[in-house]
C-alpha cells in the first residue's frame, strides 16, 4: 500500500467517525469512537511506512482537538487501539465536511420565510434533524424546497388560469425543466404532510395550474352549455372544452355530480348523458381554471339542487373532496358525498388502512363538512378505489 493509500484509509476512518458523531448528535446513536473492526484494516498494515502515514493523519486530528487516541500502555509507537471523538465541529473542519447539525441549521435559515405558508416544513426539518429523509431529500437539498415554495407562490399570483409548466419554469428560474424536478417537494407542500403518499406528477402540477399538455373539462348531461362563442346541447356521451370557455348551463340540472377518476366518469357519462344530471370530471385534484369554471356553473344553479362528489375512499380522495367542498361553499352550495361511505364499498373491494391514513381521511372528511362520514371512516378503517 502506498502512503497516499494509507492517508486515504485514515481519512475514511475519520469520515466514519464523523458519521457516528452526526448520529449521536441527532439522538439516534450513542457511540462516537473507532475500535476493533473499524480499525481492522489499519491493524492489518504490514509496512511501517504505511502505519506511520495512517498515524500521521489521526495524530493531526488529535493535535487540533478533534479526537483522542489510545495506544497500548507504555507503547507510544504501537498501533492505535481506540479513537474517541472530542469535538464534532473540529473533526468536520479538518475533513472539510459540514456537520449534520450545521446542515440542518442552514436549511432552517433558508426555509424560515416559507414556514408560515407551509407549516409542514417544520416536520420536514424535524425529520432531517433526526437523520431521516423526506422524499429522498436531506437538509443538503433545502434549496429545492425553497424553490418549490417559490413555484407555488408564483402560480398563485397568476390567478385562475392554467399555464404550461415549462413556460412557467423558464420565467421563474430561467430553466425550463426546473419545476418538473421539484414535483416531490411540491407534493409534500401541497399535501401538508411529510408522510403523504406520492401522487403522479401531473396531479401535483395540475393542482397549482401547471400542465405539460392542456386538459379540457369533460361534462355529460342532456343540457345546453353556454360557452364564449357558442351555446349547444352536450354531445353524447360527453363534451370536452377548455375550462375558461365554459360560462354556464341553460336551465337547471337535477344534480351536479363531480367524479374524481376517468374510468368512472366514462361509465357514468354513458349512463347519464340523456339525463339532466350534470356529470363533471375533476381529473383528480382540480386545477385553478377548473375551479373557477365549477364556481361559475354553481353560481347559476338554484340552491335547492343537490351538489355531490364521488371519489376514492382514501386519503387522496377525501383531500380532493375537501377542496371541491370549499369551491362549492364559496358558490353558495353544500357538497354531499356520493358513494364515498365505507359502508358503500363491497367487502371484496375493501383494504385495511394504516392508522395515520385513517386519521388523515377523517380530517379531510371533516374539512368537507362530513362529520358523520368521518366517524364512519374512523370506525371501519378501510380504503378502496372508486372503480371498485
**HEC per residue, 119-148:** CHHHHHHHHHHCCCCECCECHHHHHHHHHH
Residue pointed to by grid coordinates 506511520: 52
Q: Contact at 8 Å (CB) between 214 and 194?
A: no
pTM of the model: 0.83
Q: With beta carbons less than 8 A apart as the criterion, state whether 196 and 158 touch.
A: no
DSSP strand pairing (255-259 vs 277-281): parallel
Q: What SS3 string covers 192-205?
A: CCCCCCCCCHHHHH
Structural domain includes residue 388? no
Same domain membership, residue 203 and residue 76: no
Answer yes or no: do 242 and 309 share one domain: yes
The per-residue pLDDT for range 98-142, each reduced to its tens digit, is 999 999 999 999 999 999 999 999 999 999 999 999 999 999 999
What angle in degrees, to the nearest 10, is found between the helix axes of 3-25 and 100-115?
A: 50
Tell me the three cell numbers of residue 326: 370549499
Q: Which of 273, 185, 181, 267 is nearest to 222 (CA)?
A: 273
Q: Could you say which DSSP state residue 301 is in?
A: S
Tell me the β-bridge partners of 67.
85
**Residue range 61-75, pLDDT digits in tens:** 999 999 999 988 877
Residues 352 and 256 in one domain: yes
**Same-domain pairing of 378 and 241:** yes
Nearest to 66 by CA among 29, 18, 23, 102: 18
Residues 81 and 200 in one domain: no
Closest CA to 147 of 119, 189, 106: 189
Per the domain annotation, does 120 fall within a domain?
yes
| CB neighbour burial string for 77-102, b if at least 16 within 10 angstroms, e if fewer | eeebbebebeebeebbebeebbbbbe
pLDDT, residue 7, reads 86
Query: What percentage of the chain reaches a pLDDT higher than 70?
Result: 98
Asked whether residue 56 falls in the same domain as residue 27, the answer is yes
- Residues 13 and 39: beta-carbon distance below 8 Å: yes
The answer to whether 119 and 99 have CB atoms below 8 angstroms apart is: no
Say which CATH number the domain at 345 has: 3.40.1360.10
Q: Are residues 34 and 183 in the same domain?
A: no
Residue from 38, 35, 32 nearest 19 by CA: 32
- pLDDT: which is higher, 32 or 155: 155
Domain stops at, among 211, 227, 251: 211
The mean pLDDT of 348-359, rounded to a whole number, is 90
| Rounded-to-integer distance, Cα 387 and Cα 312, Å | 8
CB 227 within 8 Å of CB 216: no
Clarify whether residues 90 and 107 are in a common domain.
no
**Could you report the per-residue pLDDT of 16-63, keeping only the tens digit for each?**
999 999 999 888 877 788 888 888 888 888 888 888 899 999 999 999
Q: Structural domain tally of the chain?
A: 3
Residue 204 has pLDDT above 70, yes or no: yes
> Same structural domain for residues 167 and 244?
no
**90-99: pLDDT as tens digits:** 999 999 999 9
pLDDT bucket at 242, cuts 50 / 70 / 90: very high
Same domain for 369 and 231:
yes
Look at residue 126 and tell me if it is in a domain. Answer: yes
Domain boundary among 59, 74, 95: 95
- 302 and 368 fall within a common domain: yes
Residues 248 and 196 in one domain: no
The CATH number of the domain holding residue 81 is 1.10.10
The last residue of one of the domains, among 166, 192, 211, is: 211
At 45 the pLDDT is 86
H-state helical runs in the chain? 3-25, 40-43, 48-63, 88-95, 100-115, 120-129, 142-157, 165-173, 183-191, 201-207, 262-272, 288-299, 315-330, 355-367, 371-380
Report the Cα 77 to chain-centroid distance in Å. 55
Contact call for residues 292 and 246 (beta carbons, < 8 A): no
Helix (H, G, I), strand (E, B) or coil at 285: coil
> What pLDDT is recorded for position 267?
95
Kindly report the backbone phi and psi dihedral angles of residue 369, in degrees, each rounded to the nearest multiple of 5, phi listed first: 90, 20
Q: Please give the residue range of the domain that contains residue 35.
A: 3-95
Is 207 inside any structural domain?
Answer: yes
In a domain, 134, yes or no: yes
Residue 273: closest CA among 217, 220, 219: 220
Amino acid at each position: 500500500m502506498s502512503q497516499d493509500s494509507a492517508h486515504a484509509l485514515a481519512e475514511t476512518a475519520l469520515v466514519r467517525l464523523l458519521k457516528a458523531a452526526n448520529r449521536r448528535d441527532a439522538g439516534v446513536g450513542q457511540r462516537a469512537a473507532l475500535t476493533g473492526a473499524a480499525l481492522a484494516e489499519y491493524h492489518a498494515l504490514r509496512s511501517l511506512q504505511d502505519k506511520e502515514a495512517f498515524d500521521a493523519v489521526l495524530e493531526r486530528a488529535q493535535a487540533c482537538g478533534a479526537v483522542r487516541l489510545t495506544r497500548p500502555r507504555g507503547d507510544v509507537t504501537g498501533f492505535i487501539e481506540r479513537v474517541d471523538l472530542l469535538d464534532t465541529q473540529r473533526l468536520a473542519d479538518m475533513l472539510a465536511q459540514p456537520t449534520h447539525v450545521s446542515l440542518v441549521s442552514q436549511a432552517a435559515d433558508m426555509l424560515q420565510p416559507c414556514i408560515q405558508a407551509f407549516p409542514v416544513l417544520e416536520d420536514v426539518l424535524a425529520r432531517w434533524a433526526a437523520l431521516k429523509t423526506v422524499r429522498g431529500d436531506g437538509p443538503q437539498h433545502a434549496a429545492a424546497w425553497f424553490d418549490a415554495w417559490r413555484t407555488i407562490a408564483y402560480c398563485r399570483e397568476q390567478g385562475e388560469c392554467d399555464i404550461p409548466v415549462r413556460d412557467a419554469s423558464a420565467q421563474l428560474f430561467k430553466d425550463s425543466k426546473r419545476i418538473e424536478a421539484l414535483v416531490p417537494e411540491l407534493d409534500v407542500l401541497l399535501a401538508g404532510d411529510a408522510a403523504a403518499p406520492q401522487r403522479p406528477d401531473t396531479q401535483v402540477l395540475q393542482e397549482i395550474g401547471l400542465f405539460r399538455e392542456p386538459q379540457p373539462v369533460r361534462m355529460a348531461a342532456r343540457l345546453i352549455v353556454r360557452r364564449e362563442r357558442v351555446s349547444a346541447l352536450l354531445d353524447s356521451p360527453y363534451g370536452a372544452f377548455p375550462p375558461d370557455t365554459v360560462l354556464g348551463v341553460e336551465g337547471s340540472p337535477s344534480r351536479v355530480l363531480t367524479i374524481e377518476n376517468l374510468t368512472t366518469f366514462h361509465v357514468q357519462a354513458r349512463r347519464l348523458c340523456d339525463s339532466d344530471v350534470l356529470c363533471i370530471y375533476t381529473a383528480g385534484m382540480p386545477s385553478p381554471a377548473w375551479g373557477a369554471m365549477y364556481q361559475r356553473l354553481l353560481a347559476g344553479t338554484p340552491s335547492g339542487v343537490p351538489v355531490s362528489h364521488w371519489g376514492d375512499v382514501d386519503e387522496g380522495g377525501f383531500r380532493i373532496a375537501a377542496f371541491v367542498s370549499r369551491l362549492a361553499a364559496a358558490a353558495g352550495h353544500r357538497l354531499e358525498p356520493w358513494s364515498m361511505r365505507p359502508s358503500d364499498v363491497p367487502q371484496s373491494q375493501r383494504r385495511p388502512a394504516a392508522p395515520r391514513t385513517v386519521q388523515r381521511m377523517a380530517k379531510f372528511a371533516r374539512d368537507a363538512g362530513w362529520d358523520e362520514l368521518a366517524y364512519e371512516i374512523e370506525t371501519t378503517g378501510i380504503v378502496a378505489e372508486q372503480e371498485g
